[in-house]
């Protein structure tokens, strides 16, 4: 029967509320109407405008491909009004072991 049609492939719906999705392959350009899209507003003050900033990660010499300590910029966005960075914009937090 058709019992296995929803096996697999349906995962990933609850992995965060951000707009980030896997990019569709090739040139499947979807026409997006900005009016249909959900605004992302600052979770602190509600401002809808953001400014690009960079966080920086330090790569220790032990894991660096060059064998030297490196600093890697991680672009993210902060509220232009109050400077708050929404959780979905935050660069990957370092895992505490």
Range in contact with Zn ion (rule: CB under 5 A) among 2-10, 13-21, 45-53, 87-95:
45-53
Q: How many Cβ atoms sit within 10 Å of the Cβ of residue 50?
A: 19
Look-up of token digits 């672009």: 75
Contact in structure between 53 and 90 (CB atoms under 8 Å): no
Could you say whether residue 79 binds Zn ion (CB under 5 A)?
yes
Number of residues that bind Zn ion (CB under 5 A): 8
Nearer to Zn ion, 69 or 80 (CB): 80
The length of the chain, given as a count of residues: 97
Q: Is 89 exposed, middle or buried (0-12, 13-18, 19+ CB in 10 A)?
A: buried
Q: Which residue in the set 16, 18, 20, 44 belongs to the binding site for Zn ion (CB under 5 A)?
A: 44
Contact in structure between 76 and 91 (CB atoms under 8 Å): yes
Question: Least separation, in Å, of the C-beta of 79 and Zn ion?
Answer: 3
Could you say whether residue 77 binds Zn ion (CB under 5 A)?
no
Could you say whether residue 84 binds Zn ion (CB under 5 A)?
yes
Binding site for Zn ion (CB under 5 A): 42, 44-45, 47, 79, 81-82, 84
């Amino acid at each position: 029967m058709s019992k296995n049609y929803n096996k697999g492939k349906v995962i990933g719906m609850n992995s965060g509320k951000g707009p980030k999705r896997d990019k569709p392959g090739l040139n499947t350009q979807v026409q997006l109407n900005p009016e249909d899209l959900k605004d992302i507003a600052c979770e602190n003050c509600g401002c809808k405008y953001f400014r690009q900033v960079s966080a920086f990660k330090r790569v220790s010499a032990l894991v660096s491909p060059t064998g030297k300590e490196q600093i890697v910029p991680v672009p993210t966005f902060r509220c232009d009004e109050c400077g708050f960075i929404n959780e979905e914009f935050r660069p990957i937090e370092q895992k505490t072991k």
